Structure 1
Amino acid sequence: MEDNKNISRQENAQENMSSENNDLGQERSETVKEVIKDIENETYTTNNSMSLLEELELYVGPKKEVYYSTRFEDIIDSESKIGWNWPALFVPVLWMAYRKMYIESGILLVVSTALSLLTKKIGFLHVISLIITFLVPATANWLYFRHAKKDIEAISSRGEERKSEIIAKGGTSVAAVFVFLIISIVISGVELMNNQEFMNIIGKM
């Protein structure tokens, strides 16, 4: 009996030590991550007169500077890709175009159109379409952060010239919204023309 108690105590002691080591390992890992982030921020600020967050605010523009600054700061601190963006839920293609994310906007338009056409023949694709509908707004802020960061990092100039280039690359484009809106309307029109039920209704009018 005494031997069993000793064995049990030893096992409990080992489990406690293992748990403490795991906790210590996690704490060290988090500390290392924080140190690396601080070093990266210091290095970025040293190489440039402004911090990354300040340059991102400049890139976004004054109208939505506060809104996106808060969300970008969360992304930098937590490295999370999940958030929420209401415009990206209702008009994702136009929101991306407005924010000068032309490639992303084009890809989403092509994918959405393809899914819309194929869903009529392959029923289960509507599930994928539904997933994309909510996945885009859930990751929209991160996608915009990544896009803005890439644009900023491509700028090699310094000082006032750098600020001017950031402002020029960032901001918004109303013209792009109209271009993608017209393309979307044309695509929708073609889809309707190819819809036999719709054409039958038109024929009876």
Structure 2
Amino acid sequence: MYCTSCGMYLTAHEKVCSNCGKSIYERPKQRFVPPADIEYEKGFLLKSQREECFIGENYEYYHSQWNHLEDRESKLSWNWAAFLFGPVWFGFRKMPAPVLAIMGMLVGLDILAYLSDYQHPYGRVFTVLILTLGLSLWILMGLLGNYIYFKYAETRFSQMNRSSMTPLEKREWLKAKGNTSWAGAFLALVLYLLYLSVTIYISI
């Protein structure tokens, strides 16, 4: 939406215009009517507006988490969805690279466990170590999920800034590249269940 006083593009959660400071509920002396075919590049380039277009669902949560990461210059902040659902959450947020990387690491750990001789005392210790690494991987997903998502969004913002698209096209592009995807979550879940099936079959 637009500020009725100055015409600045505002996100859905903004109650006060970041440009002129007027409340969206304040009745202006002369109402601003945005042109039908013109979007305001300056307004859209505000960080919060790019993030809102890209994140979509649960914008307030991720916006807050990303700000904390920047303020503390840290990579760590807890994400329960990433910890509980792992690659499925990454698929839901349209991040295929982390999904494939996680599956690759899980397969690698399983191969190491398969090659170790469990009957040998050292083999048992090695197997326990591998299981511990597997659990640590899920904990790391919970700790680094927000940071990975933040860096992925920054990559998309950089791609958008280098393009010659109009502001309206940029909004639509960010919504298409970001937001959520149940199809992506389903594909990640299928991939994970396939991995589990193969692992169980080999271990029998």
What is the TM-score with the length of structure 2 in the denominator?
0.67
Distance across 2 between alignment mates of 1:107 and 1:48: 36
Equivalent residues of 1:53, 1:72 under 8 A apart: no
Residue 145 of structure 2 is matched in structure 1 by 140
Residue 55 of structure 1 is matched in structure 2 by 50
Equivalent residues of 1:93, 1:108 under 8 A apart: yes
Could you tell me the percent identity over the aligned residues?
Answer: 23
1:90 and 2:84 are equivalent in the alignment:
yes
1:115 and 2:120 are equivalent in the alignment:
no
Residue 180 of structure 1 is matched in structure 2 by 188
- 1:47 Cα deviation (Å)? 6.8
Structure 1: segments with no counterpart, 5+ residues: 1-45, 197-205
Task: Write out aligned runs for 1:13-162 (5 A).
Answer: 49-61=44-56, 63-120=57-114, 121=116, 122-123=126-127, 124-155=129-160, 156=163, 157-162=165-170
Equivalent residues of 2:79, 2:145 under 8 A apart: yes
AA aligned opposite 2:105: V
Cα root mean square deviation, aligned: 1.9
Q: How many residues align?
A: 150
SS of residue matched to 2:44: coil
- 1:46-79 per-residue CA deviation (whole Å, 9 max, x = no partner) reads 8773222321121000x21111111111122222
Distance across 2 between alignment mates of 1:148 and 1:96: 13
Name the stretch that deviates more: 51-60 or 92-101. 51-60
Higher percent of residues as helix: 1
Distance across 2 between alignment mates of 1:48 and 1:153: 17
User: Which among 185, 196, 199 is matched to residue 191 of structure 1?
Assistant: 199
- 1:149 Cα deviation (Å)? 1.0
- 1:116 Cα deviation (Å)? 3.1
SS of residue matched to 1:160: helix
AA aligned opposite 2:180: T
AA aligned opposite 2:110: S
SS of residue matched to 1:171: coil
Distance across 2 between alignment mates of 1:190 and 1:128: 20
Equivalent residues of 1:48, 1:158 under 8 A apart: no
Equivalent residues of 1:60, 1:170 under 8 A apart: yes
Highest CA radius of gyration, 1 or 2?
Answer: 1
